[in-house]
């Protein structure tokens, strides 16, 4: 029922409930990522909003969150493939989390696909967006430290609102070591930077 009146009504109720439950947090992360066919190839059933519908729904959520004086926050990957529209339509009030989980951050040696992901940190900076860059130990144990190192060089300090690290594993006992590794990566980044 995505993008129906029922959907919007339920989402608005959930946004208000979560904001009240967490006593008006500073930020509210909406996700809005990986909503394209390429990211859904292994699913049996997919729903993908695109073009004006994606923006329509995003603005409904932004408006609802901002009614409570909470700052909206999204993953930035919509902009990888739609950068002109992204920078034309995305409000500066929306906190951005671009993400890239690989080792190489050298723009000059990256293939075109990876270059666009890394370059998007710089594009967000050039367009004046506040950022919380995101790294992960999903693929390797060195990405987060390299994310911090790279982003501290290319994002102006007043727009760099912090960093986020994720293991992309459930919080269950069999994944404990991966989560501990992610925590150690954050400690390493704090120590080095």
- Count, residues in the chain: 193
Q: How far apart are CA 136 and CA 120, in angstroms?
A: 17
The predicted structure's pLDDT at residue 87: 98
pLDDT tens digits for 144-188?
A: 999 999 999 999 999 999 999 999 999 999 999 999 999 999 999
Largest CA distance in the chain: 49
pLDDT tens digits for 21-79?
A: 999 999 999 999 998 888 889 999 998 998 899 999 999 999 999 999 999 999 999 99
The predicted structure's pLDDT at residue 36: 86
Strand ranges (E), 7-106: 27-31, 71-75, 95-97
pTM: 0.94
pLDDT tens digits for 89-146?
A: 999 999 999 999 999 999 999 999 999 999 999 999 999 999 999 999 999 999 999 9
The predicted structure's pLDDT at residue 185: 93
The predicted structure's pLDDT at residue 47: 87
């Amino acid at each position: 029922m995505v993008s129906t009146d029922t959907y919007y009504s339920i989402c608005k109720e959930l946004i208000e409930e979560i904001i009240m439950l967490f006593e008006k947090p500073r930020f509210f992360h909406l996700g809005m990522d990986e909503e394209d066919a390429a990211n859904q190839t292994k699913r049996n059933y997919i729903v993908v909003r695109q073009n004006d519908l994606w923006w329509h729904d995003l603005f409904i959520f932004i408006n609802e969150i901002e009614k409570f004086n909470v700052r909206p926050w999204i993953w930035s990957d919509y902009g990888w493939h739609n950068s002109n529209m992204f920078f034309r339509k995305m409000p500066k009030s929306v906190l951005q989390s671009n993400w890239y989980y690989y080792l190489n951050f050298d723009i000059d040696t990256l293939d075109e696909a990876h270059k666009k992901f890394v370059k998007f940190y710089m594009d967000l900076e050039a367009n004046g967006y506040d950022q919380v860059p995101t790294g992960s130990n999903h693929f390797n144990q060195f990405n987060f430290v390299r994310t911090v190192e790279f982003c501290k060089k290319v994002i102006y300090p007043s727009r760099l609102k912090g960093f986020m690290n994720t293991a992309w594993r459930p919080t269950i006992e069999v994944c404990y070591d991966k989560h501990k590794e992610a925590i150690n990566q954050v400690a390493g980044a704090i120590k080095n930077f």
